[in-house]
Amino acid sequence: MPAKAHPFKHLRVITKHRSAVFRNCVRAGIPLRGFLHDLSKYSPAEFIPSAKHFDGHRSPNELERADQGFSYAWMHHKGRNRHHFEYWTDYNPKTKAMGPVKMPLIFVIEMFCDRVGACMTYKGKDYTDASAYEYFARGKAKDRMHPETAALLEKLLIMLRDRGEKETFRYIRKELRKKKEY
């Protein structure tokens, strides 16, 4: 368990992250999603355990898991924020098992903005347009998402890596947002 809570440092990081995501969402043509993004992080259910487990180097959720075997803050967060693919899990009567559900387009776009904003926040001056794709490629999230959701997210992250922010956000705003489905 951490020796001392860091509520002001945690507040600064989550506010910086929300600001980066808001800017990305505006560029993607979904400003309301950016304004509403991650507001639950300020709730006592998420803020208190996250401030308690904040060390400035790793996710407070990781440290909370190490401390008590699970993260109450993450359980609360993923159940209220539709831009997390974990929110989109349900029982499939055909397979008789829990499984991923295809995310609505607007939340896939917000998820993209979130991942890019997180990399901007946590990598700081070391951030590049490849950062979010590299993080995605290293992780196992792709295997737990609906295949169509994973494919779209990966496409956007690769576009960002290869073509840059300006072209990727233009594509999202001018072409992708006009579609109802993907």
Q: Per residue in 41-78, pLDDT tens?
A: 999 999 999 999 999 888 999 999 999 999 999 999 99
Mean pLDDT, the chain, integer: 96
User: 180 pLDDT band (50/70/90 cuts)?
Assistant: confident
Domain borders along the chain are 7-178
Question: Where residue 39 falls among pLDDT bands split at 50, 70, 90?
Answer: very high
Rounded to two decimals, what is the model's pTM? 0.95
Whether the pLDDT of residue 147 is over 70: the answer is yes
Residue 1 has pLDDT above 80, yes or no: no
User: What 3 state SS string does the chain have?
Assistant: CCCCCCHHHHHHHHHHHHHHHHHHHHHHCCHHHHHHCCHHHHCHHHHHHHHHCCCCCCCHHHHHHHHHCCCHHHHHHHCCCCCCHHHCEEEECCCCEEEECCCCHHHHHHHHHHHHHHHHHHHHHHCCCCHHHHHHHHCCHHHHCCHHHHHHHHHHHHHHHHHCHHHHHHHHHHCHHHCCCC
